[in-house]
Chain A
C-alpha cells in the first residue's frame, strides 16, 4: 500500500514542478463534456472527441472528457471542470447551450467552445462551432433519390433542434431537386419542411428506438433511411443488417460510419460527415497560440467542414452518371449556383 502511495505521489509532485515553469503544450489541457450519447457513440460525440485526440497527438496537449448520463449532468459536469484545470472546455451539442452560457458568464476568464450552438449576441469567451450540414445532406438526398427503388425515402431525428433538422432540410431539398431535374416523384417520410414537424425519438441514446423507427419507415415502403440521432442510428443499422441491404440502406451522419461502425459497415450507402474533429482541433490550436476569441467557426462544403463520405462497398451500385451529377452539384453548391434551401 505504501509503495502504491509513493507511485501516486511522484506524478503529482511532477505536475507541481511543471506548473511553476512556463506554459507549454504539455501543460495545456482541453476538456470535453459529451451529451447523453456518450463518448463512444460512433458518431457525434466520438467525432468531436477525435479532435481532442488529434490535438494530443499533434500538439502534445492533455485531454480529458466527462460523459453526461442525463440532462441534469450538463451543468454539474461543466462545473466540475472549472477551477483552472482546463485551458479550454468544449461542450458537445446544442442541448448544452444554456448550461455553457451560464458557466461562461459566471467564469469570464475560462475559455469555452460549443459544438452546434451560435449565441446571438456572441459571448466573448465562447467560440461556437456550427456547420452548413444541409449542403452535404442535399447531396445525400439527391443520391438517395437516384438510388431508391420504391420511390420512398425515410428520415427521423433525435430531438427537434436546428442542428438535427438542418440535416433533414438539406436531405428533403436534395430529393426535391432530383424530382425537379429528373421528373421523378420520390417522397421523403419523417420530415415536413414547411410545418417543421416530423419523426423524433426525443432522445440521443436509445438504440431500440432507432430500430423501431427504421422499422416503421421500412413498413411504409422506405428503402433508404437517414437517422439523424447519433448512436440511435446504430439500431437502424442493425435492422438493415437483418433485412439485407437490398431491402434497406442507411445513411450515416456526423462521422463516416463505414469506418467507425465496422461491424455493420456494409449497410451504409454513404455518410453525411460533419468534421467536428477538424473544428475542435482548430479551436485548441487557437487557444494554444493565444489567438482564441469568442464568435463562430462555420464548417461548409467549401472548407471541408461538411462532406459526403465515399460509397465504399456500394461504390459499384452507384452509376457513373449519378456520380458525375453529384460532382456537378458539389461545384454548384460551392460556387452558389445551386441553393440548398427553398
Chain B
C-alpha cells in the first residue's frame, strides 16, 4: 500500500469504528432494556392472572436458576455456548453489512457434518478425532453459507432471501440425511443418527463434582472464537476490509477492496461459526443428531448480535444473558409454574428496546448525559 491510500484508509477506519461516546449505546441502553423488559414481563404475567407473590417467586427462580448454584451456572454456560458461537458469525456479517438469516440452516448442516465424522473413524485418538469433527462442522457450515455469499456476489441475489430459502432446504436435507442407512441408527425407523463415538465427544468439564452437570469443553471453543473474532475484526487487514465494506461499500471498492470476494468470505466465516455452534450441540450436548437439534439458536443469534452491538465482547455478554434466561426460565417453570413462553416474551421485549434506543432514552432521561445526547443530534 502506498502512503496515499494508507492515509485514506485511516480516515475510513475512523468512520467505520464506533466512536467513544457510544458507551451509552453499548452498556446503558441494553441495561435499561433488560430492566424494562422484566417489568413489562411482570405486567404480562399479571394480565394472565398470575398473582404478585408468584411473579416475585418466578423472578427469584429466574436468578436462582441462572446463577444461583454450580448446576445453574453450568446450565447457563451450556446454553450460552452455541448462542455466542452462532452470534459471532452474525456479528461479523453485520460489520460487513450482510444480514445473514441463515445461521439456523448453517448450524444444522454443520452439526450434521460433525456427527457424521463423529460416529465414523472408530479407533482414531481423541486429540485428532474431536478437532476433525469440529473442523468438519465449521467447513460444512461455511460452504453452505458460502452458497448465499456467492449468489450475492455473482448475481446480486439478496442474502436475506437466499439464506431463508437455504434454511428451509436444510430442514428437509437433514431429514433426508438422517434417513440414509449409513447415518440412521440401527433398529430405528425415525430420523435419528448413530451415536457420536467417545473420541469425538466434547468432554464434560464438571463430571467430577456431579455427573448431572452438563457443561462441556465447547466452552473453550467458544471463548477462543470470541478472542479470534476480536483479533480478526480489529487487528487484521481482513477485518478492516470487512468493516470498511460494511460502512461504505462504494468507498471500499474505490479503495481497491474486492467487495465480491469479501462478501463470499464473510458469509463463509459466518457459516463456519454457525457450523461450529451446531457441532457444539451434536458433539457436546446430544451426542447424536435429530431433526430439531438447531432449536432456534440460529434465530436467537440474530438478536444476540444486535444486543451485543456486533462487538465480540458484547456478543459474549449478550449470549450469557440469553443463556441465563434459558436456564433461569426452566427454573421459573419448575418453581412457580409460570409458562416458559414468558421468557420468549421477555427476550422479545429486550430486542424491541435495544432496537429503539431513543425510546429507552425517553423513558429514562436521567440515565443519560444531556451533553452526549445533544452532541449526537
| Interface residues, chain A, with chain B CB atoms under 8 Å away | 4-5, 7-8, 31, 36, 64-67, 69-73, 75-77, 79-83, 85, 95, 98, 103, 106-107, 159-161, 165, 196, 202-203
Contact = CB atoms under 8 A, between A and B. Distances in A.
B267 to A, nearest CB: 26
A8 B51 CA distance: 12
A103 B295 contact: no
Interface stretch (B21-29, B327-335, B345-353): B327-335
Contacts of A103: 212
Nearest to B296: A70
Contact of B189 (A4, A83, A160): A160
Contact of B334 (A64, A71, A161): A64
The 7 closest A-B pairs by CB, nearest first: A70-B295, A71-B292, A160-B189, A106-B211, A161-B190, A72-B295, A160-B190
A77 B330 contact: yes
Given A76-B75, A80-B75, A202 B334 contact: no
B333 A66 contact: yes
B57 interface: yes
A319 B349 CA distance: 56
B102 interface: no
Contact of B330 (A4, A76, A83): A76
Given A8-B60, A71-B293, A80 B189 contact: no
Contact of B75 (A4, A79, A160, A202): A79
A187 to B, nearest CB: 22
Nearest to B65: A80
A196 B189 contact: yes
Contact of A203 (B71, B211, B288, B291): B291
Given A4-B53, A72-B281, 7 more contacts: A70-B294, A73-B330, A75-B286, A79-B75, A80-B327, A83-B71, A106-B212
Contacts of A5: 56
Contacts of B327: 76, 80
A71 B282 CA distance: 11
B195 to A, nearest CB: 9
Contacts of A75: 214, 285-286
B198 interface: no
B45 to A, nearest CB: 14
B322 to A, nearest CB: 14
A73 B330 CA distance: 10
B189 A161 contact: yes
B290 interface: yes
Contacts of B286: 71-72, 75
Which bucket holds chain B's interface residue count?
35 or more
A70 B104 CA distance: 14
Contacts of B296: 69-70
Interface string B71-105: 10001001100000000000000000000000000
Given A69-B295, A107-B212, A8 B53 contact: yes
Interface in B276-291: 281, 285-286, 288, 290-291
B52 interface: yes
A79 B56 contact: no
B114 to A, nearest CB: 15
Nearest to A159: B190
B307 to A, nearest CB: 20
A202 B244 CA distance: 44
Contacts of A203: 291-292
A159 B191 contact: yes
11 contacts: A8-B57, A31-B334, A66-B340, A70-B292, A71-B286, A73-B295, A75-B214, A77-B330, A79-B75, A80-B71, A95-B290
A69 B212 contact: no
Nearest to B79: A76
A80 B288 CA distance: 21
A65 B53 CA distance: 19
B18 interface: no
Contact of A202 (B175, B330, B331, B339): B175
Nearest to B344: A69
Interface string B168-202: 00000001000000000000111100000000000
Contact of B285 (A66, A72, A159): A72
Contact of B337 (A8, A64, A79): A64
Contacts of B337: 64-65
Contacts of B57: 8
Contacts of A80: 65, 71, 75, 327, 330-331, 334
